[in-house]
Every structure is written in C-alpha cells, then in structure tokens.
Amino acid sequence: MKVIIIGGVAAGPKVGSRVHRICPEAEVILIEKGEFLSYAGCGLPYYVSGVVQDQKELMSTPIGVVRDPVFFRNVKNVNVLNRTEAKQVDRTHKQLTIKDLQAGTESKLSYDKLVFATGATPIIPPIKGRQLKNVFTLQNIEDSESIKAALSEGKAKDVIIIGGGLIGIEMTEALISKGCRVTIIEKLPQILPMLDWEMAYQVKEYLELKGIKVKTSTTLTEIKGTDKVDSVVTDQGEMSCDFVIMSIGVRPNVSLAQDCGLEIGSTGGIRVNTAMQTSDPDIFAAGDCVESTNLITGKPCFVPMGSTANKQGRVAANNLCGRKDVFSGVLGSTVCKIFDFNIGRTGLGETQARQEGYNTDIILSPAPDKAHFYPGAKPIMMKLVIDRETRRLLGLQVVGMGVVDKRTDVAATAITAKMTIDDIANLDLCYAPPYSPAMDNIITAANISRNKLDGLFEAITPMQVKEKIDHGDDFIFLDVRSPGEYATVQIAETTLIPLGKLREECQQLPKDKEIIAFCKISLRGYEAALILQEKGFKNVKVMDGGVLMWPYALIKK
C-alpha cells in the first residue's frame, strides 16, 4: 500500500507515524510545502517570548531529537518531501501532482490512499496597507522568526494585535516581556468569544490591570505607512504603532480538496465521517482542514486545535490501514495562560446552549483552588451550564489565578459521559490540601446547582443585579460579610449586616421588599437566605458568585 500525506505539521506526521507502527510494509510519503516539520504551533508565543529558547525545541521529541526528514526516514520509515507543494489531485487515476519549490520542477506520484492534513490559513481582512512591512501573522515558525527579528531591533515599542482570540491573547505576554506597549483591537463586544460575557470580562479586566489596552467593538479599517506600518485606522480613530499582529482567526485550507471535488462542509472544512474518511473512500483528512462534530449538539463545527489534529490523525491512520476506529467529535475544550491568569472552557456556553434550545441553568462558583489554609491557594471563578430537564452538565468555564485545567478536564470527561450534576457531586476525586479543597471546586459547584434546581434557594447573577441597580429597582442589597471585609471592598450601595448578627437584626429589614444577599463568594449569602426564609421573608435571592464575580471596574475600594 502506498500512502501519500499532504501536510507535515501536526495531523500529517501523526498519520505517517501511526501507519508505520501498524502497517510497516506500507510506503509512506509526506509532502510539506514549508521547511519545518512536526512543530508545536501552539508553542510559538512562548518561542517569541523566550520561554522556549531554541526553535528546535518546538520540533523535537521529548528526548531532544529534531523531527526532520532524516528522523522521519530513519525512525518512522516515512519519506519526507519538504519545500514541495501539492498542486493537483487526479482522483480518477489516483495521482498527485507535486512541485519542487527549490528546483521549480513538477512530477506526479501515484497513491493507494491519500491524506489531506493541509491545516488552516490565517484570516487577513482585505484592507488597505495589509502588505506593509511589520504586519505579521503567527501561523508558523517563519512568522515567529520574523516577529522575533522585529523585536530584537529594539524599535518596536507600540504593538497592536488585531483580534482578541486565543493566539492574540497569548501573544500579549510575550510582547510585554519584550518591553512593548500592547493594544488589542477586537471587532466583537468582548475578547475571547469562546467564553460567556462575564467570564471574558474578568480576563479583560486582568489584562488592563497589566497595562494592556483592550478596545472591543472596534473595527480595523486601514493600516497606514509608506514602507512599514506607522499606524492603524479604526472606526473609533487612528492609533500609531510600530508593528501589527493579525490574529483574527484561521480558515481551513481546502482549496486543493475543493479543486478535486471533495465535499466541503457547512463550516468551510473538509467533510469527513467518523473514520476521518472524505467523500472519496480512498482519501482521508485530519486536522485544521476538516470539519468536526460537536459532541453535545451533533452539529458541524470548526475548532482547530493541535490536540484534535493528533487524535484525528491517529484515527485516520487506523482506518486507512484497515483497523476500525472512530473519532466522534469535540467539545471545544481549551486552556490557556496569560501571565498569572488561567482560562479553561469546555462544552457549551450559556448563550450557545440557549440558542440550541436547552432550558439552561447557570452556576457561578468562585473559591480557592486549594485548601484555603494551604500556602499558595489562589482564587478561580467557575461557571457551570446545566440542562434543567436532564440535570446534565452542558459546559464549564473557569478563570483565575489558580489551577483551572484539571477542573476543565473533569468537566470534559463528565460531559462526554453524559453525567448529571448529581453524578459529578459524588465523583471520587483526589484530595490533599496542596491540590484542592476537601470538596473540589467542581463538586461544590455541582452541589450549588443541585440546591438551586431542587428549590432550596433562588439565585441571581451579578450582572442581573447590576441591571436592577441601573433600572432603579427597589430592593435590599444585603451584604453579610464582616465589617473588615466591607471596609476593604464595597460594591454599589448595600445594607451591611454580618451573617453572625443577622438572626437578631433581621427584623430591621422590610418583609415586603425583595432582598438579595451576598458575601465574598456567596456561601454566607446562601446561609443568610436560609435564615431569612426561616424568619418569614418570602422574596429572598442569593447573588451567585458574590463579590469575587462582581465586575472589577464596578468595585469601590
């Protein structure tokens, strides 16, 4: 069997390596347009910052062997043709036309099985000035080298990032570490559209505390300069800069697949079945060029991730070698780090869940990531999205200074297994003070959700409270923290009655008004609601998330 793979970054090398392991008699040829192979694209921001010091580290095995053509030939039995472009696929005769980009010559290769691992292409808006020097993307090693060179000159002080997605956000730390002043311009009303608004707002406030300017609802209209960029023009005005990084997103690279008549999905990626097989049974596809399936909704989605590409590559290799395997879909599980701030998410957000027709409930649950008494415990803010009817977990988002990845991974596992919040609340998760509270954050959040769904209390989000304040609604905003906490941080106009005094002082509160109780994380707010209900108060709510999830900009200090 002769297998040709087009693309040599993530999915392609995975296919080649797996074919070699389970079908060693196969002849495998890997075609790569660029020079570099099997590198960690997600590591590029860390190479720019210097955290990863040597380019070779991004394309080396765990023991430091560089994955170059010699490595693939000697270790994987894969013949690599890099600096070679795949030009045309003749499906009838099962031939691929290739071009040697150094020699300029074309030739044809026959195949039994063909694999598309052509990746994705950065989105560059068709605006004036996009071709100027010092306008970069960050898609490959060559891009990172160009950015590093511009930074090394010492003249690039004002940098504008177009797009507030993952790569753009991750690049801020690298640029700040090099002494740059950074502005993020995002067309949407929020950065990180993978998050719900209130969670993305927490990230935005953190970035601004670090000195990064974040301009949302702002559209780039032009890039100005003679030879290199001098400024950018938006619908909100003009800003001078030394260079620009385009980080708007990527689109699947499917032109070659389209030209040979393969079916393209609704998201723009190559349509594949669960075996990673295209509309041609002898052609497979994997990685950022393909369309995936959302595991919850069953609908097509495009979520380009290196982790997904590797899993899909393995499944494609298994099936083209005759070993049945299935790739069912994705949840969009993502984690990233910005300075000391961590972000994780999986599954559906609140807005997406409602758009899909779910009767959703949400839980906001901030708490330390470790036992509160253990040195180094740091806060994380968690949001759960629940289906009221089935009590199943639909999604999780978690941000903060503490550990978020393990909570995200637990949630991804629970969603895949179709677990309910009742199941999650009784998971036998590890406990020791250096690692988590006695009841891990996700277990606590699940229990809060159970209490809420079971009618033990009524919750209201911080933003809903803010809307009531803005509308002038008449209600009692009851702060049950200690006087010391109150003196340090206040939010809006509140009535202070510490929880320990609430039983004896609650009679001063009017029973005919709505009362919204809260504390730092609203555990005491919940206790306050129970006390008030016991004392005959009928209209009592708990502000979900407490002070920790009240938008920073609205806090009085």
The residue among 498, 491, 501, 435 whose CA lies nearest residue 462 is 491
Distances (CA, A) of 400 to 176, 336, 344, 368, 462: 20, 11, 9, 10, 17
Compute the distance between CA of residue 53 and CA of residue 211 in angstroms, rounded to an integer: 25
Residue partners of 14: CB distance under 8 A and separation at least 6: 286, 309, 310, 313, 314, 317
DSSP, res 419: -
Q: Classify residue 538 by burial, with Cβ atoms within 10 Å: 0-12, 13-18, 19+.
A: exposed
Which residue out of 23, 42, 336, 519 is catalytically annotated?
42
User: Token digits for 299?
Assistant: 């609908």
- C-beta of residue 408 within 8 angstroms of C-beta of residue 400: no
Q: Classify residue 360 by burial, with Cβ atoms within 10 Å: 0-12, 13-18, 19+.
A: buried
- C-beta of residue 32 within 8 angstroms of C-beta of residue 12: yes
Dihedral class, residue 538 (left if φ above 0, else alpha if ψ from -120 to 50, else beta)? alpha
Active site residue 321: no
Q: What are phi and psi of 64, to 5 degrees?
A: 95, 10
3-class DSSP assignment, residue 526: helix
Q: Residue 144's CB: how many other CB atoms inside 10 A?
A: 24
- Residue spans of alpha helices (H) in 161-251: 166-177, 197-209
Please spell the DSSP secondary structure of 252-290, one letter per residue. Answer: E--HHHHHTT--B-TTSSBP--TTSB-SSTTEEE-STTB
The catalytic residues are: 42
